[in-house]
């Protein structure tokens, strides 16, 4: 599935390349605060700036808002959780 040269161990892919592979998948982006955004990660860059579409904002597990298209600035990100299969 990968366009790069063969890699004997797929799991040794670097974190940012791994995120790039998750483009168009469903993800959850947790921020340093207790806020979390879930949606389709329509793109991401090496700074971890993320475009989410059909995003849902939740705080402490409670859904608080829906957004069509949001660009999250990477320095606020605590982690990106990939919810779909890669």
Cβ burial, residue 80 (10 Å; 0-12/13-18/19+): buried
Range 8-27, binding its own copies (CB under 8 A): 9, 11-16, 18-21, 23-24
Rounded Cα gap, residues 46 and 10, in angstroms: 20
Q: Is 59 within 8 Å of 35 (Cβ atoms)?
A: yes
- Contact between 58 and its own copies per CB under 8 A: no
- Contact between 49 and its own copies per CB under 8 A: yes
- Contact between 66 and its own copies per CB under 8 A: no
Q: Which residues bind its own copies (CB under 8 A)?
A: 1-5, 9, 11-16, 18-21, 23-24, 31-33, 42-45, 48-51, 53, 67-83, 86
């Amino acid at each position: 599935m990968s366009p790069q040269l063969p890699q004997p161990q797929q799991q040794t892919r670097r974190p940012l390349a791994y995120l790039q592979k998750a483009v168009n998948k469903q993800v959850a982006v947790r921020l340093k605060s207790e806020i979390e955004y879930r949606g389709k990660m329509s793109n991401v860059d090496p700074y971890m700036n993320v475009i989410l579409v059909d995003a849902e904002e939740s705080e402490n597990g409670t859904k608080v808002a829906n957004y069509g298209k949001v660009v999250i600035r990477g320095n606020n990100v605590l982690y990106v959780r990939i919810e779909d299969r890669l």
